[in-house]
Amino acid sequence: MEFKARTGNERKRSWAAVAAAVVVTVAAAWAIPTVTESIAAPHSTAAHDRNTTADGGHNGQDGAQGSGSAGGGAQPAGAVPEGIAHASEAGGNAVNITIDDGPDPVWTPKVLDVLKQYGVKATFCMIGPQAKAHPELVKQVVAGGHRLCDHTVDHDTTMDKKPVAYQEKEILDAKKMIEEAAGGAAQVQYYRAPGGSFTPDSRRIAAANGMRPLGWNVDSKDFTKPGTAAIVDTVKKEIGNGPTLLFHDGGGDRQQTVEALGQVLSWLKAQGRPTGFPVRTTS
């Protein structure tokens, strides 16, 4: 009887041990999904952020492509972002016409005449000293309903390798020259780095002073004067790259640009593609 009693007690202890093991196993099984979810969540969020901050476009931007802000944080609605703009405010299949390196007393009025003929508004990226020398042209651009863009003082295509203080002076001195030439009638709304030599610092400086960094998607190559037909052909071939087109009204004889611009605007109209201004702020 003593042996049987001991056996019964041992049996009870054995069943108790088994029951405890089952409880531990079930608890562990319930805990696993919770741990897995808490590990996976940050990766999922990071992937979402990467997929939703892109601004699109191919040219005229530095290594921070698609970044809405050099600091990486969200910006309030209505703020001027540091990310390089390409999209059009008009949305859809609209394109943005941008004109660089002026104003020029010979060619800017001719470019304005072509734009007026087709009812198109453009963004003029002006060199500071050029604007200062020709304030009547800046006022004419503004009066035509076009927008102003800061294209620096010296058009230094290597300014991305220069000190921040140099970049700031190039940008802000040009902005002041352009706005003074406009007679206080208009704000400089964009900043385009010469040759696309943007840096995180230059984008930050521009945005902090109300100017959206402005890139481009289609370089018409008009600056090299390849011939009117070649300029038009380049635009037609590259229009799939994005909405922002680059032309010039400064830097020498721009007769080919004037002729090509008219043909391009006529072609865009036939394609049913409206024109607009580049985006400036977050929605």
Q: What amino acid positions are annotated as catalytic residues?
A: 100, 248
Q: What distance in Å separates the CA atoms of residue 126 and residue 152, rounded to the nearest whole number? A: 8
Query: φ, ψ for residue 29 (rounded to 5)?
Result: -60, -40
- Rounded to whole angstroms, the Cα distance separating 222 from 260 reads 9
Measured CA to CA in angstroms, residue 235 lies from 20, 160, 183 at distances of 76, 27, 35
Cite the beta strand spans of 46-161 per DSSP E.
95-102, 123-126, 147-150
Our CA dihedral for 47, 52, 55, 57, rounded to 10 degrees, sits at 50
Of 176, 249, 167, nearest to 201 by C-alpha is 167
End-to-end CA distance of the chain: 87
62 CA to centre of own chain: 10
- Length of the chain measured in residues: 283
The CB density around residue 107, as the number of other CB atoms within 10 Å, is: 22
Residue 273 in contact with residue 72, Cβ under 8 Å? no
